[in-house]
Structures are given as C-alpha cells and as structure tokens.
Amino acid sequence: MKIAFIARGDAHKWGGDLLALHAIEKGIEESGHKTILTPSLLDATDADFVFLSHTGFDQRGAFDFLKNFDRRIGLIPFYEDFSRYYGPSYGLYVYVHSALLGVQSFDLSKLFEEPELIFKHIKPCPRENLINLKVLKNAEIIIANSRTEKELIQRDCPSAKTQVVHWGAGWGIETENMDQTILEMTGFKSGEYILQVGRFETRKNQLATIVASKDVDIPLLFIAASGYQPIYEQVCVEAIKKWRKAPTIIISQELPAYQSGHLKIIQMPKNELLSKEAIMGAFCHAGLHLHPAFCELPGYTYLESAKMGVATIASSWTSIKDYFIDPITGNYTLDERIAYVAPYDIPAIKEKIQNTFGKKYSQEESNPIFKRTKWEIAKDILALIH
C-alpha cells in the first residue's frame, strides 16, 4: 500500500504538525508500506490512500481533485476552535499593545488585578473550519489527536467518521548527555532559564509569558521559527524592552541579530531551523517550560518537556490534558509536573512560575504516552484504513 500525506507548502516553517506527519510517515514505512509527504496533490494521484491535513485551510478543491482520481481520502485535520480562541487572543494583544503605546486607561497593572479585561477587546472570528464541512462529511476517516479534538469535530459535523490516535513524545531521541547547543549559543547555565518554543503569534501567546514574568528575576528564552504575524513579533520585542527586567534571549529564524540592555536576539545559523537535538537539549536544560497558548493540538512542547521531567506550565485551553486521563476511570494519570492555567490569567501564570520553577521530575515516568513510538502510532492508523 502507498499512503500519501499532503502537507501545506509552508510546512518548512512549522513545528509540531510537521513533526507529527513525519513521525507517522516513518512509522508506516517501518511497517512495510510506501509513503510520501508532499505539498503537491499531483504527487499523490497514484497513492492508495491520501491524508489531507489542516482544516484551517480550504481543502474542498484538494478533495475534489483527488476524488477525480478515485483516491481514498482521509483527514489529519489539526482541527482548531477558531470561534473560541481568536477573539480572546486578539483581546490580550490589543490590551498589551495599547498599554505599550501609553494609551489612556490601558494600565498593565490592571491585568494582574482583573485579567478578564481582555474580553472587552475581542473581535469576531474572521474564519471558520466549517468551510470544509463537505470534506468532513465525506472523508473516509478523520484522525483526531485527542478526545477534545474529536468532540470538537463531532460538534461541527456529527456525521464525521472520527477516531482518536494519540501522538507520542520525543521520537526516540536519547535524553542522556543532552545537546549543549542552546547553552553554547546563549551563555545560559543548565536549569536557570524559562523556555517557550514556537513562532511568535497571538495563538502561541508570548505576550502573556512576557507580561507575567516581567518582574520575575529569571532569564527567559524564546526559540521561534518564521511566523506570519510580524507586527505581533515586534510588539513582543518592544514589550520585552520596556517591561522585562531579567535577561531575555530570542533565538529567531527571522529577526535580525540585536543586543541592547537585557534583550538579545540571536539568529538561527543560516536562518535555518535548529536541529531536533538542539531543541530537545533546550528543553532538557530549562528550569521551566512555559507555554500559555490559546490553542495547541495537542501541544508537542508539553509532551517533550514532560517526558524530560521538566516542570511545565500548560494552557488549560489546550487538549494536552487528554493524554493523561484514563479513559475508563477518568482519573488523571500523571504527577504534578504539568500545571494548568487559563492563557489570559496573567496573575495565575506569574504564581505558577514562582511556584514551579526549578522543579525536576523523573525521566523514568511510567505513563505509557512517553513510551509510545512512531511505529505504534502508524499501526493504529493502518488498522483504521485497511
């Protein structure tokens, strides 16, 4: 059997979603099947089964094109609830940006007293996943990566043939003698910095990290691939300059090198993404992983940091908690290494930073999600499409 995965053309700029597709692709190859990961529909016309990905984009034309070749079609949708997160993420951006500009009545200290103020500045969501309703209805199988994602898909399309297949964590990279690249690049010592990984955008919510930690005397490190919201990125830079007191470093694929005061921007070598080993080393050496995202599906960075035994502050709006809930008993199956907080709750984020920074947990955690391999993920998917 030949299985094709259609990735969007800018996939070289993206992180967890591409990692998931690559892992599934390799796992299926290990199972004895042929695979191809490509942005081109033409490359998939001879495949026995084709997975489209990302329903944040209009997939109707791709679906119709492949149907003309009588292909079997599935979806790996990374199905986001835009209607939930778009408005609040924009509201937080507007409030912090206005405070940065000195607009009257936008006082940053008020966010520590009443974080719900951001909801006064939301704006309507400009797009909906329902543009792909026909595709959701007619796809042979839809692979959701969590119970929450499945329920969201079924909410919008009750007839969708949706099954949950959990991703894994780490993808077999050894956690002993971890890569020192990040320590060499930054001059930070192991265990002394807060880490957030992900391109700068309102959904990833770097502004909440910056504001919540502005008075916390702990170094902060961002690792950011190329994004599509340059204004947001610049607002984050200016917010760091104005409010952050401790050293802050951005390792960026896009921003030019810069150093002034407590802020330093380091360009990724040749503007190319850092190696997976370097990123895993960054997690291993962090004193805390902080990612108060408005939306993550489910959030590879949470899985990676938790696997490494690094204290992690995760957003309660993401689906990562599904990975640690026993489906039979409903009991939470992981220790306290992951703390959950609403993405807009600035005072709660600050409190979690102060209470969890520096805590370490065993890398021998027995939770099965940390032992899950790409082959096991592929086996689950193959069982659904055979």
pLDDT digits (tens, 9 = 90+) for 249-307: 999 998 999 999 999 999 999 888 898 889 999 999 999 999 999 999 888 899 989 98
pLDDT of 309 higher than 80: yes
H helices, E strands: number in the chain:
13, 14
Range 369-382 average pLDDT:
91
pTM score of the predicted model: 0.94
- Residue 246 Cα to chain centre, angstroms: 25
Q: What's the residue count for the chain?
A: 386
Describe the strand order of the beta sheet including 72-76 as a list of residue ranges.
34-38, 2-6, 49-53, 72-76, 141-144, 162-164
The residue ranges of DSSP E strands in the chain, in sequence order, are 2-6, 34-38, 49-53, 72-76, 141-144, 162-164, 194-197, 220-224, 248-252, 258-260, 263-267, 288-291, 312-315, 338-341
Domains of the chain: 2-81+128-169+373-385 (3.40.50.2000), 82-121 (no CATH), 181-371 (3.40.50.2000)
Kindly report the number of other CB atoms within 10 A of residue 336's CB atom.
Answer: 10
Q: Are 287 and 357 in contact (CB under 8 A)?
A: yes
Q: Are 121 and 89 in contact (CB under 8 A)?
A: no
Range 153-182 average pLDDT:
83
Radius of gyration of the chain (CA): 21
Q: Which residue has the higher pLDDT, 351 or 227?
A: 351
Residue type for position 95? Y
Q: What percent of the chain has pLDDT over 70?
A: 95
Written as six digits, the tokens of 263 are: 């802020």
Range 56-74 average pLDDT:
95
Residue 360 dihedral angles phi and psi, to the nearest 5°: -125, 150
Q: What is the pLDDT of residue 283?
A: 94
Residue type for position 259? Q
Q: What is the pLDDT of residue 115?
A: 97
pLDDT of 15 higher than 70: no
Q: What percent of the chain has pLDDT over 90?
A: 77
pLDDT of 329 higher than 80: yes
- Rounded Cα–Cα distance for residues 177 and 166 (Å): 28
Range 133-162 average pLDDT:
96
pLDDT of 116 higher than 70: yes
Q: What is the pLDDT of residue 177?
A: 61
pLDDT of 373 higher than 90: no
pLDDT of 12 higher than 70: no
Q: Please name the residue that has the structure tokens 């690049």.
A: 185
Q: How much is the mean pLDDT over the chain?
A: 92
Written as six digits, the tokens of 58 are: 């209009």
Task: Tell me which residue of 383, 386, 380 sits closest to 168, measured CA to CA.
Answer: 380
pLDDT of 17 higher than 90: no
